[in-house]
Amino acid sequence: MLALFGVELLTTPAVLLSPVPLAIAVDNVIGSDRLPGVLDAILPGFITSSDLGILAFAAFLQVFVVLLTQLQESGWYVLNTVVGERLTISFRARLFDHVQRLSLRFHDRRDTHDSIYRIQYDAEALQHVTEAAFPFVSSTLTLVAALYVTLQIDWVLALVAFGVTPILFLLIRSYEKRVRPRYSELKELESGALGVVQEVLTTVRVVKAFGREDREQDRFIRQSRKSMRARIRLAYAEGGFGLLVNLTTGIGTAAVLYIGVRQVQSGALTVGGLIIVMNYLLQLYGPLETISEKVADLQSGLASAERAFALFDESPEVEDLAHGRRLVRCRGAVEFRDVSFAYDESHPVLRDVSFAIEPGTRLGIAGPTGAGKTTLVSLITRFYDPVAGHVLLDGVDLREYRLADLRRQFAIVLQEPVLFSTTIGENIAYSNPDAEPSAIVTAARAANAHDFITALPEGYATPVGERGMLLSGGERQRIALAR
């Protein structure tokens, strides 16, 4: 990061040196003025004593400035890419890890596609913010340096040139207030379009079964058109902002040119001095325009960054104690004491439920839909915490155990078998990736899955496809049981 900042700072000397070779050629070679005092003092006499030597120095300086500028730009591009990519992947990883650890209640009420968009696309905004921030700082330094040098040459022209900056900053401030909410709205709309794609592709069998492809296509187009209209409105706003910025700097340039030429005619300023002033004026306005452009770019990045950081503001409802009780292997005594639970306050699912299950017990829970059967299992595995009462394992409240240790005590087969896009063997060993092949086979035999697995051409190395869709429903169920 410091190296990137250092390379970016090289912009300032490159900008300040760029008009000097031409000014030397005009004033000291074509004209008869002496070299500026600093150059006259440091250059050897064999250079300063002849026009040819001064011209050669000016040519050398021109090549040096071009080389310095190119090295700075190339170095900044490479370092910015390296730093930006590392920042992005680190931020994405932290965001993904945090979202995984959020409670199921968060995932129940938050659309999956919105979390995906924030992790994959909004998190990338950190790189864009960095890309805009460093040029913003270097442009500010260049602006100050160019203003100082211009003041030394002609303070009147410097004040005229700098007089447009308050107008530019007012434009920037106004633009920020208007555009940031629009970018936030755009991100929401783009996330919605992604949601249509994600929902349709994950339920494509249902879509095909009911012949609703055309309807889903229309739904996607409607959502995408909303995003398109929002982006077009932003393009108009950005174009108008750029027009006002360039018009303002154009007026400043015209004023300086008029006053500068009049001063040359009166003898108050040399032609070389005017060239330097006009060049520095471009360098003066260049940073101002860069700052204006980066402010525009920052609005999109900051809107995305706000959405990404909003995920960090979400805290897990099921908290894992930093110094929780360790659990290697439980005996299996489960007890509910006056447990109440509700997914939302207006619809309680369990009220004052109490029961005890001794170790070794085989228990089936029956009841009508919505009675709370799945909720009981979710409470035992601490997918949720009860709103009242206690759930105990071996006489200890579940909240006192380390969460990872607690969940390792349970084997769960969900109502809808979920497999990952990898091999059969890796799916069976999901809870224990270091399991020996013999242990995987043993689990498969226990689930009555070994025979159909070995009949496949690749056996346990057979890919199951996304969510296991290359297998039949019954085969997926057997793999889930073996797991």
Neighbouring residues of 445: CB distance < 8 A, sequence distance ≥ 6: none
**Residue 215 zone, left/alpha/beta (φ > 0; ψ -120 to 50; rest):** alpha
Q: Is the pLDDT of residue 325 over 80?
A: yes
pLDDT of residue 337: 92
Are residues 246 and 375 located together in one domain of the fold? no
Task: Find the length of the chain.
Answer: 483
pLDDT of residue 176: 74
Q: Is 236 a domain residue?
A: yes
Residue range(s) defining the domain that contains residue 348: 334-407
Lowest mean pLDDT among 124-133, 437-446, 448-457: 124-133
Are residues 48 and 196 located together in one domain of the fold? yes
Q: Is the pLDDT of residue 273 over 80?
A: no
Read off the tokens for 16.
């300040």
DSSP state of 466: G
Q: Is the pLDDT of residue 354 over 80?
A: yes
Per DSSP, the residues of 399-414 read GGB-HHHHHTT-----
**Rounded distance between C-alpha atoms, residue 356 and residue 335, angstroms:** 4
DSSP H or E run through 349: strand 347-357
Are residues 373 and 450 located together in one domain of the fold? no
What confidence tens digit (pLDDT) does each residue in 357-387 have? Answer: 998 888 888 888 878 888 888 898 888 888 8
**For the chain, percent of residues with pLDDT exceeding 90:** 3
Strand-by-strand arrangement of the 388-393 sheet: 347-357, 334-344, 388-393, 396-397
**Rounded distance between C-alpha atoms, residue 96 and residue 474, angstroms:** 32
Cα separations (Å) of 178 from 122, 173, 189, 241, 390?
Answer: 20, 9, 18, 11, 51
| pLDDT, average across residues 205-231 | 86
Going by pLDDT thresholds of 50, 70 and 90, the confidence category of residue 44 is confident
| pLDDT, average across residues 127-144 | 66
CATH number of the domain encompassing residue 341: 3.40.50.300
Count of structural domains within the chain: 3
Beta carbons of 339 and 346 less than 8 angstroms apart: no
**Rounded distance between C-alpha atoms, residue 393 and residue 437, angstroms:** 32
pLDDT of residue 369: 80
Token pair 């069998």 is found at 205
Are residues 85 and 229 located together in one domain of the fold? yes
pLDDT of residue 305: 80
Are residues 345 and 247 located together in one domain of the fold? no
Q: Is 172 a domain residue?
A: yes
CATH number of the domain encompassing residue 11: 1.20.1560.10
DSSP bridge pairs for 460:
none
**Rounded distance between C-alpha atoms, residue 47 and residue 43, angstroms:** 7
Beta carbons of 23 and 272 less than 8 angstroms apart: yes
What confidence tens digit (pLDDT) does each residue in 19-41 have? Answer: 677 777 776 767 666 776 667 66
Phi/psi at 307 (5° precision): -65, -40
pLDDT of residue 75: 74
Lowest mean pLDDT among 71-75, 235-239, 387-391: 71-75
DSSP H or E run through 182: helix 165-202
Are residues 184 and 76 located together in one domain of the fold? yes
Nearest partner of 221 among 192, 256, 201, 187, judged by Cα: 192
pLDDT of residue 236: 85
For the chain, the straight-line distance linking the first and the last C-alpha, in angstroms and rounded, comes to 45
Are residues 20 and 100 located together in one domain of the fold? yes
DSSP H or E run through 397: strand 396-397
Q: Is 413 a domain residue?
A: no
